[in-house]
Chains A and B, each alone.
Chain A
Amino acid sequence: GENVEQHPSTLSVQEGDSAVIKCTYSDSASNYFPWYKQELGKRPQLIIDIRSNVGEKKDQRIAVTLNKTAKHFSLHITETQPEDSAVYFCAASTRGSQGNLIFGKGTKLSVKP
């Protein structure tokens, strides 16, 4: 079945710097890759997603890139702010699991003022 690896598990950056979180997946049939942000004690919220027919997608300070050949995708946050501090989860959706999302283990991002 699908397996999603996420790195790093923790990331600390200075305010204003960029942050990059990387995920790899194993099932070449996966076709949808969302990213979630979870603040402490709250629910995960979808912040950006990308489908397999697209290589890059941007939304203001965040962007996601997808390399289908290498089976990896990345989240890029530019001009980080303290409110970006949270746990970020990547996920991959595969037909083999009836559309279930397979989540990475998460990255705790800390943005220091």
Chain B
Amino acid sequence: DGGITQSPKYLFRKEGQNVTLSCEQNLNHDAMYWYRQDPGQGLRLIYYSQIVNDFQKGDIAEGYSVSREKKESFPLTVTSAQKNPTAFYLCASSPPGTLYGYTFGSGTRLTVV
């Protein structure tokens, strides 16, 4: 997947349960991002990290948490506080600066059961 791997591809969450989505990249990119995509909708930014041990909230961070302990990894936890978590989650990475596009992972489809 172009050097950025998301797992699992499909994930089912029970009510009140926390789940963690994995995102790993071997592109040596400094910046990593999490987006949520609902059916027929655009990309909404959840969290982003420009450097290890630092991350910032995006537009819809409530009910989500992240960590960035390693350059290669940026896991996203969907907590029980996120009341409507069913969506397609996309992780992306990019080199530093403003002149480069993102490389996206293949996504995780999360469904509440």
A residues sitting closer than 8 Å to B (CB atoms) are 31-32, 34, 36, 41-46, 49, 51, 89, 91, 93-95, 98-101, 103-106, 108
B residues sitting closer than 8 Å to A (CB atoms) are 1, 31, 33, 40-43, 45, 48, 50, 56, 88, 90, 94, 96-107
Structural contact, B94 and A99, CB atoms closer than 8 A: yes
Chain A residues with CB under 8 Å of B94's CB are: 99, 101
Known: A89-B42, A105-B41. A43 touches B98 (CB 8 A): no
Chain B residues with CB under 8 Å of A93's CB are: 98-99
The 5 A-B pairs at the shortest CB distance, nearest first, are namely A34-B101, A105-B42, A43-B104, A99-B98, A93-B98
- Smallest beta-carbon distance A101→chain B, Å: 6
Structural contact, A94 and B98, CB atoms closer than 8 A: yes
Chain B residues with CB under 8 Å of A106's CB are: 41-42
Known: A105-B41, A105-B42. A43 touches B101 (CB 8 A): no
13 more contacts with CB within 8 A, not counting A34-B101, A41-B88, are A31-B98, A32-B100, A34-B102, A42-B107, A44-B102, A45-B104, A46-B103, A93-B99, A94-B98, A100-B33, A100-B48, A101-B101, A108-B40
Distance in angstroms between the alpha carbons of A91 and B42 in the assembled complex: 11
Determine the residue in chain A with the shortest Cβ distance to B105.
Answer: A43
Structural contact, B101 and A46, CB atoms closer than 8 A: yes
Chain A residues with CB under 8 Å of B1's CB are: 43
